Amino acid sequence: MLLLPFADWLPGGTVADLPLQQVVNGSNFNRLFPPSDPDFRITMSQEKRGFSEARLKQGDQVIALLAISDTITAPEARAKFDQAKQELEGWPLVEQGPHASALLVADRFQVKVIEQGSALDADHRHSLLEDFDLQGLASLGSPSLPRS
56, 63 contact by CB (below 8 A)? yes
Q: What is the pLDDT of residue 22?
A: 72
Strands of the sheet containing 86-88, edge to edge, are 41-48, 51-58, 61-70, 109-115, 100-105, 91-95, 86-88
Question: How far apart are alpha carbons 45 and 65 in whole angstroms?
Answer: 9
Give the residue ranges of the chain where pLDDT is below 50.
1-13, 143-148
- Beta-strand (E) ranges in 1-148? 41-48, 51-58, 61-70, 86-88, 91-95, 100-105, 109-115
Q: What pLDDT is recorded for position 23?
A: 80
Identify the pLDDT of residue 9: 42
Q: Give the other-Cβ count within 10 Å of 63's Cβ.
A: 19
